[in-house]
């Protein structure tokens, strides 16, 4: 009888580049979700979101670096948040990550534009947000 083939331990461990890229993709998707959703609901990104990003970037990298531009800031934040992210050099993997982040952002925006079908006015109020134009009142009594 022949013994069943068992993959080596090395073959069972995920590629570190894939894990780094996955962590970067999840982190960036989380950063994109809320501003894209509020843009879809209110047709605006609130000052708190802009200010929080500005404050984080300025405290981490300084005013001049923050003024250079958002792409440089986002790249540096990813490098700080995900050690070894710069080693991911396979264009196909990076393209997949960027695509996932873009899909999350667009999906969040679309969900925001459909808030009358998904959320009630009271849900916005309870969460501490203003009621957007066109929100659906809850059917409390009936």
Q: Which residues are 120's β-sheet partners?
A: 136
Give the integer Cα–Cα distance in Å for 28 and 40.
18
CA dist., res. 45 & res. 49, Å (int): 7
What is the pLDDT, as a whole number, of residue 4?
66
State what percent of residues in the chain have pLDDT above 90: 16
Q: Which of 65, 67, 77 is nearest to 31 (CA)?
A: 77
Q: What percent of the chain has pLDDT over 70?
A: 68
Strand positions, DSSP E, 43-131: none
User: Are 113 and 102 a contacting pair, CB within 8 Å?
Assistant: no
Q: Give me the phi and psi of 12, to 5 degrees please.
A: -85, -20
The distance in angstroms from the start CA to the end CA of the chain is 71
3-44, pLDDT tens digit by residue? Answer: 666 666 665 667 777 888 888 788 778 878 888 898 899 988
- In this prediction, residue 35 carries a pLDDT of 85
Q: What is the three-class DSSP state of 39?
A: helix
Residue 123 C-alpha from the chain's centroid:
22
Q: Could you tell me the pTM of the whole model?
A: 0.62
Residue 142 is predicted with a pLDDT of 46
> From CA 87, how far away is CA 65, in angstroms rounded?
23
Q: Give the model confidence (pLDDT) of 18-27 as tens digits.
A: 888 888 788 7
Token reading at 54? 């500005």
Structure tokens at 125: 């109020």
What is the tens place of the pLDDT at every residue in 60-111?
666 666 666 666 666 766 777 666 766 767 778 778 888 888 898 899 999 9
């Amino acid at each position: 009888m022949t013994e069943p083939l068992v993959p080596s331990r090395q073959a069972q461990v995920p590629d570190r580049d894939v894990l780094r890229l996955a962590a970067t993709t999840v982190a960036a998707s989380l950063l994109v979700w809320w501003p894209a959703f509020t843009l879809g609901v209110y047709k605006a990104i609130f000052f708190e979101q802009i200010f929080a990003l500005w404050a984080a970037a300025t405290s981490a990298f300084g005013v001049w670096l923050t003024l250079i531009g958002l792409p440089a800031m986002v790249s540096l934040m990813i490098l700080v948040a995900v050690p070894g992210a710069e080693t991911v050099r396979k264009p196909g993997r990076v393209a997949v990550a960027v695509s996932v982040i873009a899909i999350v952002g667009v999906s969040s925006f679309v969900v925001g534009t459909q808030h009358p079908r998904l959320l009630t006015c009271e849900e916005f109020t309870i969460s501490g947000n203003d009621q957007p134009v066109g929100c659906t009142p809850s059917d409390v009594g009936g």
